[in-house]
Amino acid sequence: MKRVGVFLCWCGSNIAGTVDVSRVAEKVRLLPGVVYVEENKYTCSEPGQASIMKAIKEHDLERVVVASCSPRLHEPTFRRTLEAAGMNPYHLEMANIREHCSWVHTDREEATAKAFDIVRMAVAKALRNEALQPGRISIEKKALVLGGGIAGIQAALDIADAGHQVILVEREPTIGGRMAQFDKTFPTLDCSSCILTPKMVDCAKHPNITLYTYSELEKVEGYIGNFNVTIRKKARGVDEALCTGCGLCQTKCPVKVDSEFDVGVGKRKAIYTPFPQAVPNKPVIDKENCRYHKTGKCRICERVCEAKAIRFDQEDTIFEEKVGAIVVATGFDLFDLEAYGEYGYGLYPDVISSLQFERLINASGPTEGKIRRPSDQEVPQSVAFVLCVGSRDDQKGVSYCSRACCMYSVKHATQYREKVKDGRAFVFYMDIRTPGKAYEEFYRRSSVDYGVEYIRGRPSKIYQKGKKLVVRAEDTLLGRPVEVEVDMVVLAPAMVPKHDAARMAQTLGVSYDGYGFLNEAHPKLRPVETNTAGIYLAGACQGPKDIPDTVAQASAAGAKVVALFSQDELTTEPMVARVDEALCSGCLWCKPVCPYKAIEAKTVTERVAGRTVTREVASVNVGLCQGCGACTVACRDGAMNLAGYTNDQVLAEVDDLLADLRPACGQR
Amino acid sequence: MTEEPLRYAYYPGCSLHSTAREYDLSMKVVARAAGVELLEIPDWNCCGASSAHVTDPFLGFALPGRVLALAEEMGLDVVAPCAACYGRLAAAREEAARHPDYVRRLEKATGRRLSGSSRVWNVLEWLSQERVSAAVREALKRPLEGLAVAPYYGCLLVRPPKVTRFDDPERPVTMDRILETIGAVPVDFAFKTECCGASLGISRTDLVSELSGRILAAAADAGAEAVAVACPLCQTNLDSRQEAAGLRQGRTFDLPVYYITQLVGLALGASARELGLGRHLVDAMSLLREKKLA
């Protein structure tokens, strides 16, 4: 029998407050195989770890059980301790007597009894622990960045600057994303495009970045270090190599439609670049509105193009790339404001969204920065800004706070007061949330220096009265109803996941929450990683964010990719599923239950009773396997085993627990 | 091939037997013309609005609950033209599903079974269902051409949305569509579902003059010549407070307030007398005569 050492942790009073650790130690001493037992106030501390190493040497320990907290917290710590003491790190077994015991119980007697049960199971398992060796896989040092907004741009630049190849894929005809639509940015009021466009140009010019705009991700296969991605480059209708970006085609195109970039408050042509600083500065033909595509007649753009770059018959191209890491930076959509019938968005022309207002105050927007209301192009003498339209509303919207709306609405009100000197700005709010550097000061200034009027109350109705709009709310500070007549209303819509976020997540094989935001691996400690190794998150695809937070997260994701690429090979976790091909009947029930698509069928040829037989068995891709164990449960033949958690080990734990459970029950 | 006639359990409630007789009359005119049988629920009782449900939750459930049980015995869905009755019956149906203990108490007290099998229809739902609206379209004799009517839904038909599950609670359109069907011009206005002041019409007439006045002003400013309603209390408040509301706002209101069924009946060729058009406070006839509709 192997020699087992057991280290019981008090975790200060975290464990010892509820569990009588010394009594557990007394009983553990009598367990078969246990040759050494020690208690520590903090086993994870340096002296705690040192005493483990000392005991390993002095008592010739072959297996170590640490009874402390969750293995999620300190298993890596103690594995390193074992390694430092010259043992195989997988000879460690953790018994979780904190999260699974002391923290969730109050009765000291029962908690102590349970703690002992947990430790004895760990000992039973540890006796059967095998030495495991990590595997190695190669890394393709090229990254794919999905989405060319500020998040994707920042991540791409950071990775490229570190000397690695980056493929930046953007769905729209240009990179720039939402930030390109904004006028100024809070709280410093620097011009959004002035700080963004240099980065866009850097992206286009960077020797390490390959830009694919008007392109979409079709398929992802493979695993960390070795992804195979399929990208569809949509037909632009323009030969990018020949086009000089002169813009003549756009000037001459006879078809005018609502501009997506101007969110309906401006127009564009059927052949267009979304905005003057677009990168690349090459137009696309919008086939749905193009007169030639619709009627077979026109071809004006083709006639005026001196570079002969128009290609009406161009087709989508599909190609594959191999990458080692993926950064998802696909951004967000805005809540559908028409869900609030009482606000009249879509009914009253002067009820607009914050993004539309952003276009109205933008110097390169449809009104050249002059605030004019859509109905009659007059300068509104009063504007109401309504916060939380969709946000923090369980009834009609989403439960969460969209985080950026308070600040950009404060900015809008300030900008409006700057541009319309004697105009009045009202902000209807539930709470003004300003948790950022220099945010609160910015908010205060809007009220003290710019005279923005804040009314605490969520409007119940907005209606038209002549040329005015009336906003009705309860002023919850005064406790009475208010009605304010204004010339224009700006609604701040909730930030919601991209309409196809769930499909994107499924393509990538990453998890997403109930709303459709992509899930980080840990909300605090692993905020830019997903649960799928090698795929990272940046920006609002993970949750609502403002620009500073987005850029910080994008650089963090970039750093993660660079750290990954700093190695030549990747160490893989050895706790992966293994198939005993002799037992496997090839039913492949394991395949659909695998969340990581790590199991495939494989054909084996063997000689049975003198004949050569070919049959199918399951095969695990160890690069994809995350060791969850779902397949071992599904396996009817017991052929699937998870290294470090074999059926044998798990059953040993159960047997040990049940061995004297019946008499124990009688005593209790 | 003749279809089975549509039959409904008819729940007039107290109003339609008293202050809103013309609603009752016009309901029956429309039903007859559309080939629908309305069978008044025998031995029906008060729906409880609003005193019962603000006094005792069980009583608030039990009164409309008994009416539903009676309708179930007839094996028919219920039409409740009064918006308050409709609201109470619909709420009781919801509560029956959520509170089995209420149902047990009710069954013990009344000796009747309540399973929730009878659906509750408000007058707009009832008029806009396929067969009724097709029958109306077919029997149309006198389309109300050129009559600009503000469809006023009131608060109870659409709220609470989880109970009524009827139309968009903020921008309903069902009555607009019915008005279009009979040839009238529905006038979109922002106060379709605002409160008229409801039963405060007895205790706080000043408030009702204010609230109903806003609705009348919004309708008139939007170009309406008349208001259509589907609730006896809305009709009473809007019809009876026009002078007081006018005084408050320094203007004069002269908007006849019709029940939607009166307008439908009119389009189907019924006479003013049959529809009780003489029972209004604001003269309901002059406008119709002016438009050559009566």
**Contact: A464, B190; criterion CB under 8 Å:** yes
Q: Which residues contact B30 (CB under 8 A, 6 or more apart)?
A: B127, B136, B261, B264, B265, B268
B82 vs A530: CA distance, rounded Å: 57
- CATH number of the domain within which A119 lies: 3.40.50
Which member of A341, A465, A466 has the closest CB to residue B170? A341
Chain B nearest C-alpha distance from A466 (Å): 8
A320, A229 Cβ separation under 8 angstroms: yes
Interface check for B168 against chain A (CB to CB < 8 A): the answer is yes
Percent of chain A with pLDDT over 90: 92
The per-residue pLDDT for A668 is 37
Instruction: Note down pLDDT in tens along chain B; length 294 residues.
Output: 456 778 999 999 999 999 999 999 999 999 999 989 999 999 999 999 988 988 999 999 999 999 999 999 999 999 999 999 999 999 999 999 999 999 999 999 999 999 999 999 999 999 999 989 999 999 999 999 999 999 999 999 999 999 999 999 999 999 999 999 999 999 999 999 999 998 898 899 999 999 999 999 999 999 999 999 999 999 999 999 999 999 999 999 999 999 999 999 999 999 999 999 999 999 999 999 999 988
Same domain, A261 and A362: no
The range of the structural domain enclosing residue B243 comes to 142-290
List of chain A residues whose C-beta atoms are within 8 Å of the C-beta of residue B169? 341
B93 vs B69: CA distance, rounded Å: 10
**Contact: B171, A340; criterion CB under 8 Å:** no
A109 vs A293: CA distance, rounded Å: 80
B201 vs B199: CA distance, rounded Å: 5
From the number of C-beta atoms within 10 Å of its C-beta (0-12, 13-18, 19+), residue A240 rates as: middle
- Sign, CA torsion B25/B27/B30/B31: negative
Which member of B171, B191, B218 has the closest CB to residue A341? B171
The per-residue pLDDT for A666 is 44
The per-residue pLDDT for A137 is 87
A24 vs A230: CA distance, rounded Å: 57
Mean pLDDT taken over chain B: 94
Chain B nearest C-alpha distance from A264 (Å): 23
Under 8 Å CB pairs connecting chains A and B tally to 15
**Contact: A463, B190; criterion CB under 8 Å:** yes
A406, A544 Cβ separation under 8 angstroms: no
**Contact: B170, A347; criterion CB under 8 Å:** no
B14 vs B37: CA distance, rounded Å: 20
Res. A44: pLDDT tops 60: yes
Q: How far is CA A188 from the centre of its chain?
A: 27
The per-residue pLDDT for B104 is 95
Q: What Cα–Cα distance (Å) separates residue A393 from each residue in A335, A396, A397, A456, A457?
A: 12, 6, 5, 16, 13
Residue A662 lies in a domain: no
Residue B131 lies in a domain: no
List of chain B residues whose C-beta atoms are within 8 Å of the C-beta of residue A463? 190-191, 218
The range of the structural domain enclosing residue A446 comes to 336-496
- Sign, CA torsion A454/A459/A465/A467: positive
**Contact: A463, B191; criterion CB under 8 Å:** yes
Q: Which residues contact B125 (CB under 8 A, 6 or more apart)?
A: B166, B174
The per-residue pLDDT for A664 is 52
Choose the weakest-confidence range: A161-175, A340-354, A444-458, A618-632. A618-632
| Stretch (H or E) spanning B24 | helix B21-34
Q: What Cα–Cα distance (Å) separates residue A558 from each residue in A421, A488, A534?
A: 44, 42, 12
Q: Which residues contact A495 (CB under 8 A, 6 or more apart)?
A: A332, A333, A334, A335, A391, A402, A403, A404, A405, A540, A544
Q: Which residues contact B273 (CB under 8 A, 6 or more apart)?
A: none
Q: Which of A260, A153, A170 is closest to A216 using CA atoms?
A: A170
Chosen for mutation from A463, A471, A472 (greatest number of chain B CBs closer than 10 Å) is A463
The tokens for A565 are 């690429």
- CATH number of the domain within which B180 lies: 3.40.50.11810
Q: What Cα–Cα distance (Å) separates residue A575 from each residue in A226, A473, A581?
A: 20, 59, 18
Chosen for mutation from A350, A460, A465, A470 (greatest number of chain B CBs closer than 10 Å) is A465
Same domain, A282 and A325: no
**Contact: B169, A464; criterion CB under 8 Å:** no
Q: Give the tens place of pLDDT for each residue, A117-164.
A: 999 999 999 999 999 998 888 999 999 999 999 999 999 999 999 999
- Sign, CA torsion A354/A356/A361/A362: positive
List of chain A residues whose C-beta atoms are within 8 Å of the C-beta of residue B171? 341, 347
- CATH number of the domain within which A619 lies: 3.30.70.20
Interface check for B86 against chain A (CB to CB < 8 A): the answer is no
List the beta bridge partners of residue B229: B259
- CATH number of the domain within which B84 lies: 1.20.1050.140
A contact set with B (CB within 8 A) = 340-342, 344, 347, 461, 463-466
Mean pLDDT of A261-287: 95
Chosen for mutation from A337, A342, A469 (greatest number of chain B CBs closer than 10 Å) is A342
Residue A623 lies in a domain: yes
Chain B nearest C-alpha distance from A341 (Å): 5
The per-residue pLDDT for A626 is 86
Same domain, B66 and B188: no
List of chain B residues whose C-beta atoms are within 8 Å of the C-beta of residue A341? 168-171
Chain A nearest C-alpha distance from B169 (Å): 8
Mean pLDDT of A253-276: 95
**Contact: B190, A340; criterion CB under 8 Å:** no
List of chain B residues whose C-beta atoms are within 8 Å of the C-beta of residue A485? none
How many C-beta atoms lie closer than 10 Å to residue A34's C-beta?
22
Q: How many independent structural domains does chain A possess?
A: 5
Residue A664 lies in a domain: no
Q: How many independent structural domains does chain B possess?
A: 2
Res. A663: pLDDT tops 70: no
Residue A660 lies in a domain: no
Chain A nearest C-alpha distance from B33 (Å): 35
Residue of A nearest to B190 (CA): A463
The per-residue pLDDT for B1 is 45
Mean pLDDT of A11-39: 96
Interface check for B207 against chain A (CB to CB < 8 A): the answer is no
Same domain, B276 and B147: yes
Residue B160: asked if its preceding bond is cis (omega within 30°), the reply is yes
A18 vs A188: CA distance, rounded Å: 52
List of chain A residues whose C-beta atoms are within 8 Å of the C-beta of residue B221? 465-466
* A644, amino acid identity: G
Same domain, B194 and B66: no
Of B75, B91, B123, which residue sits at a domain end? Answer: B123
B281 vs B212: CA distance, rounded Å: 15
Interface check for B113 against chain A (CB to CB < 8 A): the answer is no
Helices (H), B56-204: 57-74, 83-98, 100-110, 123-128, 130-139, 161-164, 174-181, 200-203
Same domain, B220 and B82: no
B105 vs B53: CA distance, rounded Å: 16
**Mind giving me the DSSP string for A306-318?**
TT--B-TT---EE
Q: What Cα–Cα distance (Å) separates residue A443 from each residue in A425, A431, A439, A446, A545?
A: 13, 12, 6, 5, 18
Which member of B170, B218, B221 has the closest CB to residue A342? B170
The per-residue pLDDT for A507 is 94
- CATH number of the domain within which A566 lies: 3.50.50.60
Residue A177 lies in a domain: yes
Which residue carries 């005015």 as its tokens? Answer: A468
Chain B nearest C-alpha distance from A465 (Å): 8
List of chain A residues whose C-beta atoms are within 8 Å of the C-beta of residue B190? 344, 461, 463-464
Same domain, B280 and B165: yes
Same domain, B149 and B80: no
| Stretch (H or E) spanning A37 | strand A34-40
Q: Give the pairing type, strands A325-328 and A461-465.
A: unpaired
Residue B128 lies in a domain: no
| Stretch (H or E) spanning A663 | helix A661-667
Mean pLDDT of A521-526: 92
Mean pLDDT taken over chain A: 95
Mean pLDDT of A634-640: 94
Q: How far is CA A322 from the centre of its chain?
A: 22
Same domain, A62 and A15: yes
Interface check for B166 against chain A (CB to CB < 8 A): the answer is no
**For chain B, how are helix, strand and coil distributed in percent, rounded to 5?**
50, 10, 40
A363 vs A277: CA distance, rounded Å: 13
| Stretch (H or E) spanning A599 | strand A599-608
Res. A498: pLDDT tops 60: yes
Pseudo-torsion of CA A468, A470, A475, A481, nearest 10°?
130
Residue B1 lies in a domain: no
Same domain, A167 and A213: yes
Q: Which of A239, A367, A385, A372 is closest to A314 using CA atoms?
A: A239
**Contact: A461, B221; criterion CB under 8 Å:** no
Q: What Cα–Cα distance (Å) separates residue A635 from each residue in A320, A399, A546, A583, B257?
A: 35, 41, 47, 10, 74
A347 vs B70: CA distance, rounded Å: 44
Same domain, B277 and B153: yes
Interface check for B169 against chain A (CB to CB < 8 A): the answer is yes
Residue A459 lies in a domain: yes
Residue B151 lies in a domain: yes
Residue B134 lies in a domain: no
Length of chain A: 668
Residue A609 lies in a domain: yes
> What SS3 state is found at A475?
strand
Chain B nearest C-alpha distance from A463 (Å): 6
The tokens for A666 are 């009688």
Interface check for B221 against chain A (CB to CB < 8 A): the answer is yes
The per-residue pLDDT for A667 is 45
**Contact: B190, A341; criterion CB under 8 Å:** no
The tokens for A580 are 């005993």
Of B123, B152, B180, which residue sits at a domain end? Answer: B123
